[in-house]
Amino acid sequence: MLTLERVTKAFHSGSDRVVAVEDINLVLDTGQLLTIIGSNGAGKSTILNLIAGSFPPTSGRILLAGRDITPVPAHNRAQRIGRIVQDPLAGTAPTMTVAENLALALKRGRRSLRPALTRRLRSEFRDQLERLDVGLENRLDCAVSLLSGGERQALTVLMATFVPPEVLLLDEHTAALDPHNATMITDLTCQFVERLGLTTLMVTHNMEQAINVGDRLIMMHKGQVIHDMSGEEKRRATVPELVKLFARHRVADDALLLKSPA
Amino acid sequence: MATLLIHAIEQGLAFGIAALGVFLTYRILKFPDLTVDGSFVTGAAIASLLLVNHGIDPFTVLVIAFLAGALAGVITGLLNTKLGITNLLAGVLTMIMLWSINLRIMGKPNLSLLRVDTATKIVEELWAPLGTFPVLVFIALLTLLIKVLLDAFLRTELGFALRATGDSEPMITAHGVNTNTMKVLGLALSNGLVALSGALVAQYSGFADVGMGIGMIVTGLAAVIIGGSLIRSTRVGWMTASVLVGSLIYRIAITLALRYGHVVGFQASDLKLITSLLVILALVVPRIRERRARKVSAC
């Protein structure tokens, strides 16, 4: 179970202060797949960064399986939290080969002086790559920089779940891909998440994806959760409905702006 | 001419160890580390001091020089990762600090090793009956041993993490590796190798001088870049081999330039100018070539 307790994140201070996430409470059950939508600057990515430990919250606590992980640095959290970002270049080591990248993903945390790649591992990698169904199993010794964006992101999905993490963070991980590859990666991700029963947070710009994927959806606006739906409500939700919900909040904002004394 | 070439090869291999160090930071970690100008001398200075004043075995001295260089690398690493000083400046600061420290170690700007038994002298006496070029064989074996050990390290889990740190920091952080630790480790190994090279070169040339490290970074880069443009590979073994080949070619070219350069008006003092121009050329040419033919090789 992942818990965010009254988490606030503000960047800069004084007159430049920008509140990216404001006093958020969120409880995510084990095995739940949560999709997060919201306008630009709503704080979606900030939430993932806070969970990953890229920066500390200004206030509040983050708990994983009941333990406070707020002070734990990013590389230590990575032992329990997996992450895939939008840029397919950021999830892999480009000058290293497919097999070498997979070997890197075999461990979360401390590394030893044992050889990283063995013949046995290579054949295991080949089997795993076959599951991706993108033909990477024949390109084990190919530098990752020579793969296409879709192939790289597919590899990243496999790498992020190779050692199943307690929480998987997906930060618009299909946004940089063409529609065909985006669908392929979404399907692949769902398949892995379901099979491994991973607790997952997926940030997306694509409302249809947000509705179709997962069992809970939150909508964010200006650093706050403005709607939280799951179960029957989410199953019945449609894109126009979500747009309408969005619009209502934006109108409310504008109204507030107009009313405020000049 | 033949002896000239033999000397060039010996030097190419001895400096090749330092080039492997530069390769480790510049190519693997993508950290342009200027510490090497100082740590090369630190290796030479410590080796000379221990040989002259303490009579320590010349082979053990190489190991001690490695450790001293590693310490210098750690300092640059901590300046960068813990104090947040940019990589170039961190290297420059350590390099300048080492200038004073190297003078302290030696006690004077120059130490002669003519009267002590250096590794190369011992090898010459011991192996002379065995072969024609004992010193060449010794340096070649030592350099190859270091290459093989470095290759083996870069193929371990830790070595993979080091390579990934230079490749993509967010990626390897996401897999639970502390990139700061990796940088410090890489800098330590690199400068250890550079100092070992300095200790070897000092024994080979029979002296240590406080200025012998000036331009070491460019010499190392020259080897890395020349080798890298001749042998293109993502395989660790080929990459380190290319560095040694680059170092050999560079040394032979320099030897020839020093020997016959006067014909076209070169002086020995032009060496650093020419080396730097060579590195600039080697850096620019592949880019122009790339721009001309933007073709991604199929895999």
Has residue B175 been placed in a domain?
Answer: yes
* Residue-number span of the structural domain to which A15 is assigned: 2-92+166-259
What is the number of domains present in chain B? Answer: 1
Average pLDDT rounded to a whole number, residues B27-39: 93
Which spans in B231-270 are helix H? 236-260
Kindly list the residues from chain B whose CB atom is less than 8 angstroms away from the CB atom of residue A116: 155-157, 159-160
**Model confidence over B60-80: pLDDT tens digits?**
999 999 999 999 999 999 999
Contact A72, A80 (CB under 8 A): no
Mutate to test the interface with B, among A48, A54, A75 (most CBs of B within 10 A): A75
Distance from CA of A101 to the nearest CA of B (A): 8
Residue B106 belongs to domain spanning? 2-212
With bands split at pLDDT 50, 70 and 90, how would you rate the model's confidence at B13? very high
Q: What's the CATH number where A198 sits? A: 3.40.50.300
Which one of B81, B82, B148, B171 would you mutate to disrupt binding with A, by most A Cβ within 10 Å of its Cβ?
Answer: B171
The per-residue pLDDT for B147 is 96
Q: Computed from CA positions of residues A126, A129, A134, A140, in that sequence, does the dihedral angle turn out positive or negative?
A: negative
Specify the pLDDT at position A132: 81
The model's pLDDT over B218-259, given as tens digits with 9 standing for 90+, comes to: 999 999 988 988 888 888 999 999 999 999 999 998 888 888
Q: What's the pLDDT at B293? A: 60
Helices A149-162 + A179-196 axis angle, to 10: 10
Confidence of residue B81 (pLDDT cuts 50, 70, 90): very high
- Cβ-nearest to A92 among B168, B177, B299: B168
Residue B287: inside a domain: no
- Note whether residue B295 is domain-resident: no
In a domain? residue A152: no
Contact status of A38 with chain B (Cβ, < 8 Å)? no
Q: B174: which chain A residues are within 8 Å (Cβ-Cβ)?
A: 52, 78, 82-83, 91, 160
- pLDDT value for A257: 56
Q: Name residue B225's amino acid.
A: I
A121 touches chain B (CB under 8 A): no
Q: Which residues 128-187 of chain A have a CB within 8 Å of chain B?
A: 139, 142-143, 146, 159-160
Contact A97 B175 (CB under 8 A): no
| Among the partner residues B168, B177, B296, nearest to A90 by beta-carbon distance | B168
B173 interface with A at CB cutoff 8 Å: yes
Interval A180-218: pLDDT, tens: 888 888 988 988 898 888 999 999 888 888 888 888 999
pLDDT at B183 over 70: yes
**B270 is a domain residue:** no
Is the CB of B157 inside 8 Å of chain A's CB atoms? yes
- Which is nearest to B36 in space by CA: B166, B196, B159? B196
Q: Is the pLDDT of residue A251 over 80?
A: no
Interchain CB contact of B163 with A (< 8 Å): yes
Q: Nearest CA to CA, how far is B34 from chain A (Å)?
A: 24
What whole-number distance in Å separates Cα of residue B33 and Cα of residue B49? Answer: 26
pLDDT in tens, A222-244: 888 888 888 888 888 888 888 88
What pLDDT is stored for residue A210 in this prediction? 86
**Neighboring chain A residues of B176 at a CB cutoff of 8 Å:** 75-76, 78-79, 107-110
- The answer, for B297 touching chain A at a CB cutoff of 8 Å, is yes
A153 domain-assigned = no
Question: Does B238 touch chain A if contact means CB atoms closer than 8 Å?
Answer: no
Measured between CB atoms, does A113 come within 8 Å of chain B? yes
Q: What is the dihedral of CA A193, A199, A201, A207, to 10 degrees?
A: 50
Report the complex ipTM. Answer: 0.82
| Contact between B61 and B204 (Cβ < 8 Å) | no
- The answer as to whether B142 is a domain residue is yes
CA nearest to B166, candidates B182, B177, B150 = B182
- Quote the percentage of chain B above a pLDDT of 70: 95
Q: Which residues have CB under 8 Å from A126's CB, separation 6+?
A: A137, A140
- Is A95–B296 a contact, with Cβ atoms under 8 angstroms apart? no
The token pair that represents B21 in the structure block: 């160090």
- How many domains in chain A? 1
What is the mean pLDDT of the segment spanning B209-221?
Answer: 91
Give yes or no for residue A258 having a pLDDT over 70.
no
Q: Label residue B130 by pLDDT band (50, 70, 90).
A: low
Question: Are B175 and A78 an interchain contact pair (Cβ–Cβ within 8 Å)?
Answer: yes
CB atoms < 10 A from the CB of B272, how many? 12
The beta-carbon neighbor of B167 closest among A95, A107, A113 is: A95
Q: Is A136 part of any domain? A: no
Q: Is the pLDDT of residue A161 over 50?
A: yes
Residue B262 belongs to some domain of the structure: no
> Is residue A53, in this structure, part of any structural domain at all?
yes
Residue in B with minimal Cα distance to A168: B174
Residue A78 has its nearest CB partner, among B156, B173, B296, at B173
Query: Does the residue A131 lie in any domain?
Result: no
Averaged pLDDT, A72-85 = 87
- pLDDT band of A262, cuts 50, 70, 90: very low
Q: Is the pLDDT of residue A79 over 90?
A: no
**What does each C-alpha distance from A241 to A191, A214, A246, A252, B266 come to in angstroms?**
27, 18, 9, 17, 79
Instruction: Give Cα A225 to chain centroid, integer Å.
Output: 17
pLDDT at residue B299, as a whole number: 59
Crossing angle (nearest 10°) for helices B179-205 and B58-81: 150
10 Å CB burial of residue A177 (0-12, 13-18, 19+) is buried
Q: Whose CA is closest to B91, among B133, B38, B154, B148?
A: B38
Contacts of A79 in chain B (CB under 8 A): 176
Residue B184: the pLDDT is 97
**What percent of chain A stands above pLDDT 90?**
13
Rg (CA), chain B: 19
